[in-house]
Amino acid sequence: MCLLISLKMVIRKGFNGSPHRENKFMARVLVIEDDDHIWKIIQYKLKSENHEPIWANDGLKAMKILEEIKPDLIISDIMVPYMDGIQILKEIRSKEELKDIPVIMLTSKSQEKDVIHGLKMGAQDYITKPFSPAELILRVNKALKLV
């Protein structure tokens, strides 16, 4: 317990210079990803850049979220339950209020064909797994025209 407290203290100290202190978010990013671990990495990375991440772990949840809020950017895995990334992209592009949202496709190496299809459907960019979180953030900022 003692060690745990000291560990938390050290971490707080380590975070003194991080951008988490600011409350105002730069952009709202919807992440459609069924892998919990990838979501966490993207989440921390987006937070570190002061973006607001929102998580949908399947296609239907993503569509439900999109009915309520309009994110500034969507990062979508191709293989997600219920509706795949391509279907989601198709839905987004067919809706007047959502069609301008930039989409970055996140995909595994063997889904190259889907990526090409996705790009044809109007995806902004794509990134293949394994991915570098730093590179992802660069692409996010580029898609948001922050760089």
Partner 1 sequence: MRRAILPALPGQRNGHTFHLQDIRFFKMKPPIFWELISSQDVEKPFLDFDSKQVFSPLYRHFGEDPIVTGLIFTVLVFIGVTVYLILYVIYLRIKSNLYQKKKARKFAVWEQNILPLIGSEVEIPSLIIETIKKRDYELFAEFIAPYLKDTKGDFLMRSIDVLRKVGVMEWERHQLKHSKLTWRRALAVQRLGEFRDQDNVTDLIHALNDEEPIISLNAAGALLKIGDNKLLKKVISVLLKNEHLTEELFAEILLNYESPIDLDYLLNKEVEKYPALARLKVINFIEHYNREEGTTRSIEIIKKSKKAIRILLDDENLPDEVFEEILLKYKNPEELEHILSQKVEKFPKDSMNKIIDYIGYLNRLEGVPILIDLLGKSKNDEQTICLIKALGNLGSEEALPLLVDYLKSGHPAIRAQSAQALGTLKDETTLEPLSRLLEDKDYWCRYYAASSIFQMGDKGREFLQSFCDLTQDPFARDMITQFLYKPQ
User: Which residues make up the interface to partner 1 (CB under 8 A)?
Assistant: 3-4, 6-8, 10-11, 13-15, 17-18, 35, 37-38, 40-41, 44-45, 47-48, 109-110, 112-113, 116, 129-135
Identity of the residue, 38 or 103, whose beta carbon is nearer to partner 1 in the bound complex: 38
Identity of the residue, 122 or 133, whose beta carbon is nearer to partner 1 in the bound complex: 133
The string of DSSP codes covering 25-75 is -S-EEEEE-S-HHHHHHHHHHHHHTT-EEEEESSHHHHHHHHHH---SEEE
Cα separation of 32 and 39, whole Å? 8
Beta carbon of residue 71, minimum distance to partner 1 (angstroms, whole number): 21
Lookup: tokens for 43:
């989440």
Beta carbon of residue 67, minimum distance to partner 1 (angstroms, whole number): 29
Identity of the residue, 7 or 147, whose beta carbon is nearer to partner 1 in the bound complex: 7
Beta carbon of residue 77, minimum distance to partner 1 (angstroms, whole number): 10
Backbone angles phi, psi at 29, to 5 degrees: -120, 125
Identity of the residue, 44 or 95, whose beta carbon is nearer to partner 1 in the bound complex: 44
Identity of the residue, 97 or 112, whose beta carbon is nearer to partner 1 in the bound complex: 112
Beta carbon of residue 121, minimum distance to partner 1 (angstroms, whole number): 15
Beta carbon of residue 95, minimum distance to partner 1 (angstroms, whole number): 28
Residues in CB range of 143: below 8 A, 6 or more apart: 73, 102, 104, 124, 125
Lookup: tokens for 15:
């975070």
Query: How far is C-alpha 32 from the geometric centre of its chain's CA atoms?
Result: 7
